[in-house]
Structure 1
Amino acid sequence: MTAFHDIRDYVAIPRVLSLKLSPDGSRLVSAVQSLNPDGKSYGTALWAVTPDGEPGSEPGSGPSGEPYRLTRSAKGETQAVFTASGDLLFTSARPDPTAKDDGDETPALWLLPRQGGEARQVASRPGGIGAVRTAGDVVVFASDVLDGDEADEEERRKARKDAGISAILHEGYPVRYWDHDLGPGRTRLFTGRLGADRLEDVRELTPEPGEALREAAFELTPDGRTVITTWRVPLSAGQSRIDLVAVDVATGERRTLLSEEGHDFGGPLAVSPDGTRLACSRERHTDLDVSARVELWIADVATGEGGPHAGDLFPMDVAWAPDSSAVYLVADFRGRRPVFRVTPGGGEAVRLTQDDASYLGLNVSPDGRTVYALRSGIALAPAPARVDAGTGEVTDLLSPVPRPEVRGTLTEITATADDGAEIRGWLVLPEGASAESPAPFLLWIHGGPVASWNDWQWRWQSWIMAEHGYAVLMPDPCLSTGYGQDMIDRGWGDWGPRTQADLDAIVDVALARDDIDAERIGAMGGSFGGYMANWIAGHSDRYRAIVTHASLWNLDQFAGTTDASAYWQREFGAPGSDRYARLSPHRALDKISTPMLVIHGDKDYRVPIGEALRLWWDLRRSEVESKFLYFPDENHWILKPGNAVAWYETVLAFLAQHVLGQEWKRPDSVA
């Protein structure tokens, strides 16, 4: 038995979430998520990781530099950043022992001294403190602020709460984002200087920004003089554009750094150590005939002059070499996410890591010889690693928590689509699968749609399915990243038909194997993968069961109720246009005969619950054998441990009934 057999054991596995390197290169810090004592929720804590701590290579030798826990609180800690002197700043809603406990649970800013001892609260705001950046003794942070006089904001928040007012009056778009409502406050940036005990001279940098800083990404230049931040610019008809602006920390003066019609500039952001250049992303606005494209953009901080780098690589994370001579980035690439090196103005990106892993959380050592990152993969949970910047050699570091061991095998397969394109994917095979004992088969379709199966998934965990005997195919069809712009162009505006053709081609290859049972097969997917599960249900009868999570059903309805209607309207056109009719899965309701399990969370604002309610009613009135697993308190993802147990146990029971031919047994978790 492994932790993937009993879902309760699986959700209890601790998870490494982040990695930060101290300015002198002597310490790494990771945020680790684990079950709270009540077993009903997760909490986070900060752990110290030694940059050279690795298991001994000699037989019988022990590890050196064991990771150790830095923080302990019921509320947890996030947003860790090092100060120039090596102290650690983080945000937490833990109570301040030096102040009266008023029951407030908004995150404040805390400082943990390098030499050890108790953490102390150094700043707080009525609307809490979000992302934090620091350079020298300068600190910049984001906070949610109500419109009006800042002096009485705390009283106004309390009055609103005491009066039982939750109403929000909107005068613009958007009004929601992923899983939370926007307003009544708006994001603003503040700055202060680290003093002996508190953050001193705290003042606002961006008064009355309106909606410009919603979900902002920002960085502080190494000299602490300038903040570079995204700035949302409203356009006509509910559209918007995202610029990058530079804000002078001393005066608050703002100038536009990067702005281009039809493009958004944003994260990941990184300012070169010499303060002269900025690495960021530039994403073009799509339309009916223009597909999604994201580029690494490097620009001069003083003039804004710059250009694209790294070709078709979509940047996921960036970090500068300490001498400002190169940028390291990670980007999806053929089912992996390697580290690349890019020389500004120097041509193509050079791949540094050559393994099958995926990397995030880049940190470059002060001497430029090492890149630290979280290393993971389809069969590898995230953990700290170091990469030799010269050779690309990778060494795993001692992790705050052990990686879970997977049982089974991971292999790569490819197929040729009907238009000649190569389609590749990962195939997870359960232990013992063979010609004598072929495994039942699951097609698992990724979300996005502009995405890729290339990393460990805590939510969409194929190894749980493998532990229960299934072979799981995770393909990258059209619209997947890491295969060049042509792969995205192939599926643009042709979601269902083109994607299904790609999936059919690679499924055929998988089912031709003698260690897979070509008769006992199912399909499942979430988000765009759920859209494709719905599409396949109405356009194929090859699967015995289909699981559809957080799925798009009626495209016209979805595009007008999602949290980002303007984005989807660019690809689909105005409401009621031909593309909605041609690509909407609900149009093929009368062709659906495959049993379906519908899953949705009520707090999902990206794919609103109305999609599942409409799908469920359509299946009911059409008498399609189906079930509806509903989560009143979850969003696009099912995040609470108990609900994750219910999700997997219900999916497994549904598949056991229809794919394996077993008698239906209602899981205890939903009894």
Structure 2
Amino acid sequence: MRKPIDIETLWRLERAGAVSLSPDGSAAVCSVTSYKMEDNKGRTALWLLPTASCSPRRLTTGGEKDGNPAWSPQGDRIAFLAKREQDGRTDAEPQLYVIPAAGGEAERKSDFAPGIDDFKWMPDGKRIVFVSWVWPDAKGAREQAKRHKKFTDRKESAYVTSEAHYRHWDRNLPMGRVPHLLMLDLASGRVTDLFEGTGYELPRVDTCAAHFDISPDGRRIAFVHDPIERKRADHALALAEIHIASRRITPLTDDPRWSYDAPRYGPDGSSLACVAAHVGRRHTMPNRLAIRNDHGLWRMPGAGRDLDVDAPLRWSGDGASILFTAQERGRRHLWRQDLRKRAPEVAVQGGWVQGFDIAGSGSDEIITVAIDCASHPVQIHAVKSGAAKRLERFNYEVLSNVAIGETREVTVKGALGDAVQMFLTFPPRFNAKRKHPVMQVIHGGPYAASGDTWGYRWNTHLLASRGHVLASVNYHGSSGFGHAFADSIMGRMGQLELRDIEAGTDWLLKQRWCDRKRVYAGGGSYGGFLVAWMNGHVAPGRYRNYVCHAGVFDRVATFSADSYIQRPRDLGALYWKDPAKVLAQSPHTFAHRMRTPTLILHGTKDYRVPDVNGLAYYNTLLAQGVPTRLVWFPDENHWVLKPRNSRLWYSEVLDWVKK
């Protein structure tokens, strides 16, 4: 008999990640991470997936975190990043490895002391362009190695900076270093810094290969950068192009009202696609697809659809269309923009498309997608002529013994009279004639969405495993419902969202299967902020208790976050210029009203919502005699990522709502 999913089963699932398709479309390679609860860690390996048959083969076994796989242009080799022990030497930082596609031993191809963050192949298959954080005043790989050794050997532990942006998510940005583009010759191992002496650097936030692209002839590289000398995370990004032979850099954009990213050359190199956001009009403006030709003329196809275009972009082989992912109403589809048409069309229906690649053109075109949905984790499919074929069976055996409850979608009338989407997750043996406890699970962001996707941190099936019905409202501010809907909460955070969540709860309370005495609410990040907000704005007794994970409690104290530059734009005020407006959007202002018992969970390494929020919230409830419990992880960030900590997290949450 199948059983509801439990935490041990959730962590036995293999997690397919980045997928890359061979140039001829005959095979894909993807990263797959598997975890062992007893080891309290995971291992990531690469798997080869032939597209003509379901016969996956493990490609790498020697490393613990083999990632970022990419086929060579000739299709005979696969490059990837790893930290391995080879030839009696253990990598201190990630290095580039290359393995034959037919199988064999992976060979280390780089020995660059600062390490490699991401990369792309040059069209000749002989060189790699990669991203690395380097000391901008150190010339040559040897000098970089000396500086790296000196820094790692230092005895001082202080982080010293004058930068405006100096930490992100759960780590300090490399002190005194900036992200450059460099070139690696695979035969000789020689490394050349393409930005050396120029003053240019890649963006410091989420630095990756999506920030640049190489022209098909291998002569130019388009990249994005912050054109203002003092770098900040909220600056608009500009687009430029470097001619590799001469190192001459040519600006491609000069309008500071627009921010550009994810450049991608067309198949013949005459056009350059990217995403562009009109941030001069509003900081919340979505990314639109933009195309520049060789004459410097721009056009923006896709105006017929209010979509926020995600990176990366991929051209079809014939250059007639561009593929990208974008959210729409709780799902993330793969879209195709035919350049002869006004609006894009769905190429692959979500669920949630987590990644994709494309090869060939016309009738020979093949697309691989990594896609999940509410009922299963990521699967890899090959799509040709509209027909999809699954290429692996990674979790087939584990899930064959698991009972997954039904997911439904309903609409309620929310704030401003708008229709608001709510997803419901039912326990496997749901009985509409019985009373079931109900829990609102409030998503973070706020520019995110609950949807038709599989989660590991707030897995609704696991949370429903003890008989609960889970409800997830896509409140005002959520992504995938157009710009006006997302932008509507600016300067009044908490107000519209609460009305939407309460409308969802009103709908739930009218259902005959709802146990009105056992209604709960929980959320993380912005969802945690909303839970704390609810404690000060919803009458005690409506919700039996709350779960607040990594939630904002004090807007002023949260100015210590890595996102301190962006948050005043969302609030519509700086706390020293308009304290009343900021405090009106801060849960701690309403602490005197808080009476509902709350479980508070937080990680010490959380730089997005520093843990002072969770500790202050816990202490505040304690001081007022409100039942509360603190689960504080000294080694976790904004998320809980270690298997045993995750097991504890779920057990604490499930026990709390049962209490």
TM-score (normalizing by structure 2): 0.91
Q: Secondary structure at the match of 1:566?
A: coil
Which of 648-657 and 153-162 deviates more? 153-162
Whether contact under 8 Å (1:188, 1:206) holds in the other structure is yes
Q: Secondary structure at the match of 2:331?
A: coil
Match of 1:175 in 2: 166
Amino acid at match of 1:510: L
Show the 5 A alignment for 1:415-434: 415-434=412-431
1:398 shift after superposition: 2.4
Match of 1:539 in 2: 537
Assess, with a 3 A threshold, how the Cα gap between structure 1 residues 382 and 140 changes in structure 2: closer, same or farther.
Answer: same
1:420 shift after superposition: 1.9
Q: In 1, Cα distance between the equivalents of 2:636 and 2:525?
A: 14
Match of 1:526 in 2: 524
1:345 shift after superposition: 5.8
Q: In 2, Cα distance between the equivalents of 1:599 and 1:387?
A: 42
Amino acid at match of 1:163: R
Could you report, residue by residue, the CA deviation over 1:3-28 in whole angstroms, capped at 9, with x for unpaired residues?
A: 86431332222111121101111110
Match of 2:299 in 1: 306
Q: Secondary structure at the match of 1:281?
A: strand
Assess, with a 3 A threshold, how the Cα gap between structure 1 residues 72 and 236 changes in structure 2: closer, same or farther.
Answer: closer
Q: In 2, Cα distance between the equivalents of 1:538 and 1:25?
A: 56
Whether contact under 8 Å (2:411, 2:422) holds in the other structure is yes
Could you report, residue by residue, the CA deviation over 1:606-629 in whole angstroms, capped at 9, with x for unpaired residues?
A: 111121122122222222211111
Amino acid at match of 1:154: A
Match of 2:565 in 1: 566
Q: Identity percentage over the alignment? A: 26
Match of 1:188 in 2: 180
Match of 1:58 in 2: none
Assess, with a 3 A threshold, how the Cα gap between structure 1 residues 582 and 393 changes in structure 2: closer, same or farther.
Answer: farther
Q: In 1, Cα distance between the equivalents of 2:280 and 2:450?
A: 23
Whether contact under 8 Å (2:5, 2:403) holds in the other structure is no
Match of 1:663 in 2: none
Could you report, residue by residue, the CA deviation over 1:114-153 in whole angstroms, capped at 9, with x for unpaired residues?
A: 3322111111211111101012223100112134334333
Amino acid at match of 1:223: D
Q: Does 2:264 match 1:274?
A: no
Whether contact under 8 Å (1:548, 1:596) holds in the other structure is yes
Q: Secondary structure at the match of 2:556?
A: helix
Q: Does 2:113 match 1:120?
A: no
Assess, with a 3 A threshold, how the Cα gap between structure 1 residues 168 and 448 changes in structure 2: closer, same or farther.
Answer: same
Q: Secondary structure at the match of 1:419?
A: helix
Assess, with a 3 A threshold, how the Cα gap between structure 1 residues 240 and 2 changes in structure 2: closer, same or farther.
Answer: farther
Q: In 2, Cα distance between the equivalents of 1:421 and 1:452?
A: 16
Match of 1:436 in 2: 433
Q: Does 2:407 match 1:413?
A: no
Match of 1:142 in 2: 131
Could you report, residue by residue, the CA deviation over 1:442-476 in whole angstroms, capped at 9, with x for unpaired residues?
A: 10111110111122112221010111211111111
Show the 5 A alignment for 1:21-36: 21-35=21-35
Match of 1:505 in 2: 503
Show the 5 A alignment for 1:183-332: 183-184=174-175, 185-195=177-187, 198-199=188-189, 201-208=190-197, 209=199, 212-214=202-204, 215-216=206-207, 217-234=211-228, 240-267=235-262, 269-285=263-279, 291-300=284-293, 303=296, 305-307=298-300, 309-310=302-303, 311-317=305-311, 318-332=313-327
Match of 2:8 in 1: 8
Amino acid at match of 1:122: K
Q: Does 2:92 match 1:105?
A: yes
Amino acid at match of 1:119: A
Q: In 2, Cα distance between the equivalents of 1:305 and 1:616?
A: 53
Amino acid at match of 2:16: V
Q: Secondary structure at the match of 1:536?
A: helix
Which of 415-424 and 623-632 deviates more? 415-424
Assess, with a 3 A threshold, how the Cα gap between structure 1 residues 591 and 237 changes in structure 2: closer, same or farther.
Answer: farther
Match of 1:90 in 2: 80
Of residues 363, 386, 395, the one that matches 2:389 is 395
Amino acid at match of 2:309: P
1:372 shift after superposition: 1.5
Assess, with a 3 A threshold, how the Cα gap between structure 1 residues 37 and 611 changes in structure 2: closer, same or farther.
Answer: closer
TM-score (normalizing by structure 1): 0.89
1:210 shift after superposition: 6.6
Match of 2:353 in 1: 359
Q: In 2, Cα distance between the equivalents of 1:74 and 1:111?
A: 13
Whether contact under 8 Å (1:47, 1:400) holds in the other structure is no
Match of 1:551 in 2: 551
Match of 1:664 in 2: none
Match of 1:61 in 2: none
Number of corresponding residues: 634
Q: In 2, Cα distance between the equivalents of 1:45 and 1:522?
A: 40
Match of 1:132 in 2: 119
Could you report, residue by residue, the CA deviation over 1:34-85 in whole angstroms, capped at 9, with x for unpaired residues?
A: 12595211121000112132xxxxxxxxxxx311100012432011111112
Unaligned 5+ segments in structure 1 are 54-64, 658-671
Whether contact under 8 Å (1:212, 1:233) holds in the other structure is no
Whether contact under 8 Å (1:67, 1:400) holds in the other structure is no
Question: Moved runs in structure 1, 4+ residues, more than 6 A?
Answer: none
1:237 shift after superposition: 10
Whether contact under 8 Å (2:287, 2:310) holds in the other structure is no
Amino acid at match of 2:525: S
Q: In 2, Cα distance between the equivalents of 1:301 and 1:13?
A: 48
Q: Does 2:65 match 1:73?
A: no
1:282 shift after superposition: 2.0
Unaligned 5+ segments in structure 2 are none
Q: In 2, Cα distance between the equivalents of 1:19 and 1:429?
A: 32
Amino acid at match of 1:377: C
Assess, with a 3 A threshold, how the Cα gap between structure 1 residues 634 and 302 changes in structure 2: closer, same or farther.
Answer: farther
Amino acid at match of 2:356: L
Match of 1:56 in 2: none
Whether contact under 8 Å (2:12, 2:36) holds in the other structure is no
Q: In 1, Cα distance between the equivalents of 2:411 and 2:427?
A: 19
Q: Secondary structure at the match of 2:332?
A: coil
Could you report, residue by residue, the CA deviation over 1:529-566 in whole angstroms, capped at 9, with x for unpaired residues?
A: 111111111111311110111111111221x2111221
Assess, with a 3 A threshold, how the Cα gap between structure 1 residues 286 and 218 changes in structure 2: closer, same or farther.
Answer: same
Assess, with a 3 A threshold, how the Cα gap between structure 1 residues 444 and 496 changes in structure 2: closer, same or farther.
Answer: same
Q: Secondary structure at the match of 1:258?
A: coil
Q: Does 2:366 match 1:370?
A: yes
Q: In 1, Cα distance between the equivalents of 2:91 and 2:516?
A: 57
Which of 127-136 and 269-278 deviates more? 269-278
1:305 shift after superposition: 2.6
Query: What is the RMSD computed on CA atoms of the aligned residues?
Result: 2.3
Q: Secondary structure at the match of 1:10?
A: helix
Which of 70-79 and 544-553 deviates more? 70-79
Amino acid at match of 1:412: E
Could you report, residue by residue, the CA deviation over 1:575-603 in whole angstroms, capped at 9, with x for unpaired residues?
A: 23243122111111111111001111111
Of residues 429, 451, 454, the one that matches 2:448 is 451
Whether contact under 8 Å (2:337, 2:345) holds in the other structure is yes
1:334 shift after superposition: 1.1
Show the 5 A alignment for 1:588-627: 588-627=590-629
Q: In 1, Cα distance between the equivalents of 2:289 and 2:454?
A: 24
Which of 511-520 and 305-314 deviates more? 305-314
Q: In 2, Cα distance between the equivalents of 1:645 and 1:116?
A: 37
Q: In 2, Cα distance between the equivalents of 1:301 and 1:78?
A: 35
Match of 1:48 in 2: 48
1:523 shift after superposition: 0.4
Q: In 2, Cα distance between the equivalents of 1:531 and 1:248?
A: 48
Match of 1:158 in 2: 149
